[in-house]
């Protein structure tokens, strides 16, 4: 098997490795075909009943250092799997509550025919120990999909008095259960309001654009408001796809005060994709500071500089009524980052995946995305998460972490089902995960700093054997065909995070799961109580034992390796939505079986290192200790220490003078157990 530098893909066969190849034009192409296929698939199967499951008790599940509370099992394309900007998970500091939203369908008892849909809001103000489930919609003839939730606080300490808005896409029975329009559900001081979406922006919208997915932010206080920025949907042949619109709902007036396509965001200023059906524009991120100023951040190619994708911000000081022209990150800042890392080139990697925005002060924000470098053959040579900082007109680019690989996702490909012998065949397709590395950022409500969360492959655990060779198909955008690949192993993904304490710098990333499960659908809210308490939600695919034996697809599902099923994202492979919280300043150290280690690998500093780095660790018991340095391919390149140590805090120095620039792993072994952290060497 061939493994690329970053461990891209799974068993690293040629078709999988090709996912990592980056010709200069590739990162400038529209990459929305996967999402569009998901939407088409959703519409085609919306009338199919949910997967029947064996009844199980709702016990907590434990994985590694995290103990989860299972909230529910998904019915149909949950919010975690669709639309990388939709907000569905919130923490409100005024009530100390976490809030999320669930959508599902309803079916007739006898006939099993689709009847309509429901929406429910889940709230907990005791860190998930118990939840209140409130049904807010039960509508015959209408299914609401991809709900987008905004939560505002007008000065209350009661969860029941929170103000919130939901914008969802509607599938109507009268239209053959096709996607028709959208719906607003708003919880105000006067009660629940139900507005039809009426398509899209009510002004400056001559092409008849409709609301689609987008980012939501609320401004709390005496005059609470909720705002949304949406990349609009085309339902006709007019207008350029990639156009942005915005709305504002004022809870004091209990009405919309803005619903428009701002002049400052005119699509003509961005690079023209050459077709009305496509766009080079990224999804927009939205934030607000304490004074109510709004920040709309994109990551686009502009018409006057078509080859350099850069972050840019437009601001509003009047609750979204008017917006400033875009202020852009200078390309020199990206080039300076590449020089500092020793890269030959730099580009923004997959700008249409999930990115994150945190407003950190008046006129200040941090925007998180991935940048990459390629070698002469067009393969990825390096891939980093970076923080693009903005401070009242001044831009900066700084490193958060290096990434190990490119997470994949699998799904059932209906159009190929005949290959497997009929309608109940299950043919897996695979693609680069549509949510990317699932980058989230949160601001600590107590002023403690920032936390960035992501998922990544874990090469330290090695390739996990599937027990069989599994065929799966990759859709090639270059030739418009499905290409078969065969997998005999996969790298699994873990959840990582890094914290930046107030006034400090980014600390060494931490792997909070470190298991052989395929982590996916992970979320933290944009505001967290503190760095010691991080609310966290994720998806877990149901196991084969949880399917009802009468489910017609079960024989085919039984033939799929467990790990590929675990990595599947599809309406017919339901997931459990689970909740937990963790302490980012004092994470538990665990091994693959979830047993706590009697020691901890504390810090590696500085990291990145040019000359040397100090590794500190704590031992609760005495024992034989080894500190080694490995390459990303698992080759030991240095032994730093090997001997016996007593309990206590210890430190050793890694000499990096003899190491080439790149990413390495420092492994601490005590009495045969091992913990690992990455170390970046720069020149």
207: Cβ contacts below 8 Å, ≥ 6 apart: 234, 236, 238, 239, 243
d(CA 558, CA 101): 31
- 324-334 mean pLDDT: 98
Radius of gyration of the chain (CA): 25
Q: What is the pLDDT of residues 303-326, one digit of tens each?
A: 999 999 999 999 999 999 999 999
Question: What is the SS3 assignment for 313?
Answer: strand
CB contact at 8 A, 670 and 624: yes
Q: Which of 226-230, 245-249, 273-277, 660-664 has the lowest mean pLDDT?
A: 660-664
Q: Is the pLDDT of residue 4 over 50?
A: no
Chain centroid to CA 56: 29
- 648-667 mean pLDDT: 87
Q: Is the pLDDT of residue 22 over 60?
A: no
User: What 8-state DSSP symbol labels residue 10?
Assistant: S
d(CA 275, CA 561): 41
d(CA 260, CA 204): 6
Consecutive H or E run containing 516: none
Query: Which backbone phi and psi does 541 adopt, to 5 degrees?
Result: -60, 135
Where are the chain's structural domains? 599-681
User: What 8-state DSSP symbol labels residue 16?
Assistant: H
* Mean pLDDT computed over every residue of the chain: 85
Q: What is the pLDDT of residues 387-436, one digit of tens each?
A: 999 999 999 999 999 999 999 999 888 777 555 555 567 788 898 988 89
d(CA 628, CA 674): 10
Q: Which two tokens stand for residue 63?
A: 């994985």
pTM above 0.85, yes or no: no
Helix-strand-coil split of the chain, %, nearest 5:
10, 50, 40
* pLDDT at residue 30, rounded to an integer: 44
Q: Is the pLDDT of residue 632 over 70?
A: no
- 586-603 mean pLDDT: 61
Report which of residues 602 and 582 the model is more confident about. 582
Q: Is the pLDDT of residue 66 over 80?
A: no
d(CA 392, CA 515): 42
Question: What is the SS3 assignment for 675?
Answer: strand
- 1-21 mean pLDDT: 38
Q: Is the pLDDT of residue 24 over 80?
A: no
Q: Is the pLDDT of residue 59 over 70?
A: no
Residues of 389-414 as b/e, b for ≥16 C-beta within 10 angstroms? Answer: bbeeeebebbbbbbbbbbbbbbbbbb
Residue that the structure tokens 């109580």 belong to: 529
Handedness of CA 419, 542, 574, 355 (dihedral sign): negative
**Nearest of 38, 46, 34 to residue 170 by alpha carbon:** 46
Q: In the CATH hierarchy, which fold is given to the domain comprising 599-681?
A: Immunoglobulin-like (2.60.40)
**Nearest of 56, 29, 79 to residue 309 by alpha carbon:** 29
State what percent of residues in the chain have pLDDT above 90: 53
d(CA 31, CA 26): 9
* pLDDT at residue 60, rounded to an integer: 53
- 233-261 mean pLDDT: 92
Q: Is the pLDDT of residue 345 over 90?
A: yes
d(CA 577, CA 89): 12
* pLDDT at residue 534, rounded to an integer: 95
Q: Which of 70-84, 190-204, 572-586, 618-632 has the lowest mean pLDDT?
A: 70-84
Report which of residues 17 and 662 the model is more confident about. 662
* pLDDT at residue 648, rounded to an integer: 84
């Amino acid at each position: 098997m061939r493994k690329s530098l970053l461990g891209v893909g799974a068993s690293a066969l040629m078709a999988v490795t090709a996912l990592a190849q980056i010709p200069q034009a590739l990162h400038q192409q529209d990459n929305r075909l996967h999402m569009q296929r998901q939407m088409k698939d959703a519409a085609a199967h919306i009338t199919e009943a949910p997967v029947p499951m064996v009844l199980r008790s709702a016990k907590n599940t434990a994985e590694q250092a995290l103990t989860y509370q299972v909230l529910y099992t998904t019915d149909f394309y949950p919010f975690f799997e669709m639309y990388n900007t939709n907000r569905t998970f919130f923490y409100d500091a005024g009530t100390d509550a976490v809030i999320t939203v669930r959508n599902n369908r309803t079916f007739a008892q006898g006939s099993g025919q689709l009847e309509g849909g429901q929406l429910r809001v889940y709230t907990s103000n005791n860190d998930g120990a118990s939840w209140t489930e409130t049904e807010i919609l039960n509508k015959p003839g209408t299914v609401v999909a991809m709900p987008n939730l905004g939560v505002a606080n007008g000065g209350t300490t009661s969860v029941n008095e929170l103000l919130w808005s939901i914008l969802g896409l509607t599938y109507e029975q009268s239209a053959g259960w096709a996607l028709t329009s959208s719906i607003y559900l708003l919880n105000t001081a006067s009660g629940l309001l139900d507005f039809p979406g009426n398509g899209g922006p009510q002004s400056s919208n001559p092409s008849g654009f409709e609301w689609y997915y987008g980012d939501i932010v609320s401004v709390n206080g005496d005059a609470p408001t909720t705002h949304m920025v949406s990349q609009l949907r085309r339902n006709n042949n007019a207008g350029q796809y990639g156009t942005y619109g915005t709305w504002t709902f004022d809870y004091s007036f209990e009405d919309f005060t803005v619903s428009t396509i701002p002049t400052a965001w005119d699509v003509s200023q961005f690079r023209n994709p050459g077709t009305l059906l496509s766009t080079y524009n990224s999804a927009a991120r939205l934030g607000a500071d304490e004074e109510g100023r709004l920040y709309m951040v994109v990551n686009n190619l502009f018409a006057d500089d078509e080859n350099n994708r850069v972050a840019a911000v437009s601001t509003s000081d009047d609750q979204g009524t008017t917006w400033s022209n875009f202020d852009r990150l200078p390309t020199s800042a990206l080039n300076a980052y590449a020089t500092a890392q020793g890269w030959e080139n730099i580009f923004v990697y997959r700008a249409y995946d999930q990115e994150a925005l945190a407003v950190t002060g008046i006129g200040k924000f941090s925007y998180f995305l991935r940048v990459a470098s390629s070698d002469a053959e067009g393969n990825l040579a390096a891939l980093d998460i970076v923080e693009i900082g903005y401070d009242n007109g001044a831009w900066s680019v700084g490193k958060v972490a290096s990434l190990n690989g490119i997470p994949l996702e699998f799904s059932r490909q209906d159009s190929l089902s005949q290959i497997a012998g009929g309608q109940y065949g299950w043919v897996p397709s695979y693609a680069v995960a549509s949510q990317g590395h699932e980058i989230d950022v949160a601001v600590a409500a107590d002023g403690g700093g920032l936390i960035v969360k992501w998922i990544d492959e874990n090469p330290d655990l090695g390739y996990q054997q599937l027990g069989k060779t599994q065929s799966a198909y990759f859709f090639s955008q270059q030739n418009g065909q499905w290409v078969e690949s065969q997998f005999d192993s996969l790298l699994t993904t873990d959840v990582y995070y890094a914290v930046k304490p107030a006034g400090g710098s980014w600390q060494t990333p931490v792997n909070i799961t470190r298991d052989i499960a395929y982590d996916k659908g992970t979320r933290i809210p944009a505001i967290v109580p503190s760095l010691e308490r991080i609310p966290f939600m994720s998806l877990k695919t149901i196991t084969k034992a949880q399917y009802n034996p009468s489910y017609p697809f079960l024989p085919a599902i039984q033939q799929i390796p467990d790990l590929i099923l675990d990595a599947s994202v599809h309406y017919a492979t339901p997931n459990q939505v689970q909740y937990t919280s963790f302490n980012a300043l004092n994470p538990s150290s665990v091994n693959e079986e979830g047993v706590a280690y009697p020691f901890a690998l504390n810090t590696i500093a500085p990291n990145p290192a040019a000359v040397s780095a100090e590794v500190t660790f704590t031992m609760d018991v005495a024992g034989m200790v080894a500190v080694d340095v490995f390459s990303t391919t698992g080759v030991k390149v240095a032994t730093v220490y090997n001997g016996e140590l007593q309990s206590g805090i210890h430190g050793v120095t890694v000499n990096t003078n003899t190491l080439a620039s790149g990413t390495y792993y420092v492994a601490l072994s005590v009495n045969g157990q091992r913990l690992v952290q990455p170390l970046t060497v720069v020149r």
